[in-house]
């Protein structure tokens, strides 16, 4: 701040003295000093560029935080007074977006609990992956989950001026469909694994309205070896979330926020509605009831490919 004030005073002084040039009294020394000062001011501006080491996440319903205590604020799928039972999701392939649109990797580091760094296995290379956990095994979440929570991802990035962040929801293809019993953290959590699909639940949201409702998102209609990576999944269900701010992305202030009120907009959990959405767009699920959540999280309901819009995530 003091440096900026000094430079502002210096620049103003030189501008004032350079008025001699305007009146026809040429002063080369002042002109040179003016250019040097302007360059120094510009250098000060660019020095605000920084590397990003932490990206914070949160879950809200409207404007209020969602926790295991009490009821979920506002409405979820048209119902008030709902109770959270579980809320966790994986993210991977995280990138930072520069003002010119270029993207650089936010390199996730291994912490042996919530994060696994990028690497490769016998099937191919994979990006870093992290688990976000918003339940603490208390109150409405007492029958599931763990006591520990995780609301951020950590890593490294090049120094830069960034305007946003991009990530994929879910587990990298070459880490999905592995053996959960022998997998390393954070892929060794059985509650986040589908035995029937031999793959991970990318998103697990469970809450109680008139009955217990579950939204489990994961790859579907996969073919190939179910004990290792499959050949392909015709419904990958891995949305790419791109979030930007015109004023720039400040990782010390801006939070990637999942709004479950927005996620469930268009759904109806009153009476016996919704109940369970396995994969969301699977044939065995109540497809019509699950369609709003699939679309709101940024997926094409039919193909499971990333759609052009999503409304569930934002920067706040």
Chain-centre distance for alpha carbon 178: 23
Q: Are 254 and 233 in contact (CB under 8 A)?
A: no
Angstrom distances, CA of residue 236 to CA of 157, 163, 226, 310: 28, 28, 15, 16
Low-confidence stretches of the chain (pLDDT < 50) are 1-47
Q: Number of helices (H) and strands (E), helices first, in the chain?
A: 5, 23
Contacts with 226 (C-beta within 8 Å, 6 or more apart), sequence order = 177, 198
Round to whole Å and give the CA distance between 238 and 91: 9
Contacts with 190 (C-beta within 8 Å, 6 or more apart), sequence order = 180
Round to whole Å and give the CA distance between 92 and 89: 10
Q: What is the pLDDT of residues 150-192, one digit of tens each?
A: 999 999 999 999 999 999 999 999 899 888 889 999 999 999 9
Q: What is the pLDDT of residues 90-105, one digit of tens each?
A: 999 999 999 999 999 9
Round to whole Å and give the CA distance between 94 and 106: 5
pLDDT at 35: 42
pLDDT at 262: 96
How much is the pTM?
0.83
């Amino acid at each position: 701040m003091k440096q900026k004030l000094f430079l502002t005073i210096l620049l103003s002084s030189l501008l004032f003295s350079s008025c001699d040039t305007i009146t026809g009294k040429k002063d080369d020394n002042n002109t040179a000093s003016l250019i040097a000062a302007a360059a120094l001011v510009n250098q000060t501006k660019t020095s605000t560029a920084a590397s990003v080491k932490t990206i914070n996440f949160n879950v809200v319903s409207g404007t209020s935080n969602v926790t295991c205590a009490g009821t979920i604020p506002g409405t979820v799928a048209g119902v008030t007074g709902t109770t959270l039972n579980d809320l966790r999701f994986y993210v991977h392939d995280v990138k930072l977006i520069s003002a010119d649109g270029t993207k650089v990797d936010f390199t996730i580091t291994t912490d042996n609990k919530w994060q696994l760094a990028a690497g490769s296995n016998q099937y191919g290379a994979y990006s870093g992956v992290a688990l976000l956990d918003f339940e603490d095994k208390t109150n409405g979440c007492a029958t599931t989950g763990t006591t520990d929570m995780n609301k951020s991802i950590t890593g490294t990035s090049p120094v830069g001026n960034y305007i946003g962040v991009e990530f994929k929801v879910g587990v990298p293809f070459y880490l999905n469909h592995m053996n959960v019993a022998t997998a390393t953290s954070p892929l060794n959590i059985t509650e986040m694994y589908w035995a029937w699909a031999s793959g991970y639940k990318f998103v697990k949201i469970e809450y109680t309205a008139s009955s217990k409702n579950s939204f489990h998102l994961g790859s579907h209609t996969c073919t190939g070896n179910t004990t290792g990576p499959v050949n392909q999944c015709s419904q990958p269900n891995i949305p790419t979330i791109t979030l930007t701010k015109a004023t720039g992305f400040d990782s010390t202030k801006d939070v990637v926020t999942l709004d479950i009120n927005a996620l469930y907009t268009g759904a109806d959990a009153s009476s016996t509605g919704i109940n369970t959405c396995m994969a969301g767009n699977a044939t065995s699920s109540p497809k019509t009831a699950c369609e709003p959540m699939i679309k709101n999280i940024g997926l094409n309901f039919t193909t499971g490919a990333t759609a052009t819009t999503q409304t569930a995530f934002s920067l706040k």
